[in-house]
Amino acid sequence: MTYGHVNELDGLAYLNADYIEQTFSRHAHEGYCVGVISEGAQGFYHNGAEHLAPQNTIILVNADEIHTGYSATETGWSYRALYPLPQHFEQISQDLGQPEYGAPYFRQSVVKDDALAASLRHLFNTLDHSEDTLLRETLIYTTLTQLVLKHGGSRLNIKPTKGSAQSLYLVKEFLDEYPQWPVSLTELAALACMTPFSLVRAFKRQFGLPPHAYQIQARLRVARQMLKRGLSIKDAAAEAGFHDQSHFHRHFKSAMGITPGHYMKHV
């Protein structure tokens, strides 16, 4: 498995992996996940349902959306993935003359598009074997643009939330903004004007995780940023709000598929 960042697009993250027994717990990424299955098949939970991605299909997960990952065959699965950030797609929308759409929203979790899959494979092969910056940047830009034009939708078409759902977003925003804060369920329930029991059920139904598990994902995002800035694993774990280093290590490996130490070597 290879996890790292290319020089282009301010350090676009990528992954090249072969998995047999790896199982990813429910987690989310700061960026989108755009992956193509090379061999085998991957199963995963996303958007309230289980999905199957066989060979040569494309996985699309929007930024900050909860999902899992596991093998759907006895021999596992291999895939390549990019993790573009929302601002990368926002720039593409600007260039397409549609700045009002911002970053796209992909409604399909699995896409069967042979032409786009071939473009992604060509892009990954170029990133592996060519140091030509102009070529690499051109392929990244054109492939992501192709993806937006063929499969991207607008978040403007999503109906705004009302009532209790707005309260749930207040809780989510608090956890995103202050992940290190040792907030209690009672305090979050008061923020949402709900009972603790109702908040746990409603929050999980809305976002795929109960509040405490979502807080862990928010803390992992903070810790990854700190590791990128050069903090030690111990300091990153403490600053992100984890009780101890082993607690941090376990959740990091479950969400990322690699250890914090491995991650540090490739950022």
**Mean pLDDT over residues 186-214, rounded?**
91
Ranking 8-12, 138-142, 167-171 by mean pLDDT, the lowest is: 8-12
**175: pLDDT confidence band, cut at 50, 70 and 90?**
very high
Cα separation, 225 vs 236, in Å, equals 9
CA angle 81, 224, 174 (to 5 degrees): 105
**For residue 163, what pLDDT band results from cuts at 50, 70 and 90?**
low
Return d(Cα 204, Cα 14) in angstroms, integer: 29
Residue 82 has pLDDT above 90, yes or no: yes
**Residue 81 · residue 19 · CB < 8 Å:** no
Per-residue pLDDT at 176 exceeds 50 = yes
pLDDT at 180 over 70: yes
Most confident region among 93-107, 229-243, 252-266 by mean pLDDT = 229-243
Contact between 26 and 58 under an 8 Å Cβ cutoff? The reply is no
How far is it, in rounded angstroms, from Cα 2 to Cα 127?
A: 12
H-type alpha helices, 193-244? 196-207, 211-228, 233-240
Output the CA–CA distances (angstroms, integers) from residue 242 to 146, 202, 236, in the order listed.
Answer: 40, 25, 9
Q: Where are the domains of the chain?
A: 2-153, 164-265
Which of 63-67, 100-104, 178-182 shows the lowest per-residue confidence on average (mean pLDDT)? 100-104
pLDDT at residue 159, rounded to an integer = 47
pLDDT score recorded for residue 156: 56
pLDDT > 90 in the chain, percent: 69
Angle at 230 between CA 62 and CA 14, to 5 degrees: 35
Q: Which CATH architecture best describes the domain 2-153?
A: Sandwich (2.60)
For the stretch 17-65, pLDDT in tens is 999 888 999 999 889 999 999 999 999 999 889 999 999 999 999 999 9
For 226, the token pair is: 């700190």
Copy the structure tokens of residue 232.
């030690």
The top-scoring range by mean pLDDT among 194-203, 215-224, 252-261 is 215-224
Q: Residue 160 above 90 pLDDT?
A: no
- pLDDT score of 162 more than 90: no
Supply the mean pLDDT for the chain.
Answer: 90
CATH topology of domain 164-265: Arc Repressor Mutant, subunit A (1.10.10)
